[in-house]
Structure 1
């Protein structure tokens, strides 16, 4: 399954493979697959296929990063409310979201107000927390991140 998309001229991408992407097993050479031109018309896009690739996310570092970024948003926002001017957004179903070797065929629509409602409902009843609340939070955070400088 592809995990790292390089969207730059193919010759430059090949030169970088032994740099930041060198976390692959030493005995496994990288494999490349060119995406169809409909995926990205300006550059040749290469996908590096990595076996058993994973990302370890430290919860302590995640919490520190989130707190730092929330402090930034508070410092750059007047008042304690952020007004989001958009409500609907395109959403890619989970089974297609990380399949970067093909163009998503089943776009759906999401709604920020609906995602926010799930989060405020959670505040009223914290025992109802499920992992998908993180997805709803991410949708709202994306909108805030795109609005905040």
Structure 2
């Protein structure tokens, strides 16, 4: 599968615009910690993950915010942080 970045960007912008319109400027997230599945285990559905670790939405949000305000340079792993935050926002706004 090939992901076209422009389509992904447009889709995310539309989803975020929808969320802002439906739920306002902010979304309250009650939880901080979540189970993080390592990358090599995430894409192996035949193997039950045995090395789960904890991630922190607060830490992920701090990193994403720092990229957004220019205090930190964008890096590829930023998308992993963003995915956790987007998941939390999506789950909260169902």
User: TM-score, normalised to structure 1's length?
Assistant: 0.59
Question: In the alignment, what sits opposite 2:34?
Answer: 89
Cα deviation for residue 124 of structure 1 reads 3.5
Q: What RMSD in Å do the two structures reach over aligned CA positions?
A: 1.4
Q: SS where residue 28 of structure 2 aligns?
A: coil
Which of 77, 86, 104 is residue 23 of structure 2 equivalent to?
A: 77
| Cα deviation 1:59-115 (Å, max 9, x = unaligned) | 12111111110111011113x111101110001111211111110010100000000
- Give the length in aligned residue pairs: 94
Structure label with greater radius of gyration: 1
Higher helix share: 2
Please identify runs of 4+ aligned residues in structure 1 that moved more than 6 A: none
- Alignment partner, residue 129 of structure 1: 74
Of 98, 101, 117, the match for 2:43: 98
Q: Which has the bigger relative contact order, CA under 8 A and spacing at least 6?
A: 2
Structure having the higher strand fraction is: 1
Contact 2:66 2:72 (C-alpha < 8 Å) held by counterparts: no
Deviations 1:1-23 (A, max 9, x none): xxxxxxxxxxxxxxxxxxxxxxx
Gaps of 5+ in 1: 1-54
Most deviating of 133-142 and 66-75: 66-75
Structure 1: distance between partners of 2:60 and 2:75? 13
SS in structure 1 opposite 2:49?
A: coil
Q: Which runs of 5+ in 2 are unaligned?
A: none
CA distance in 2, matches of 1:145, 1:86: 13
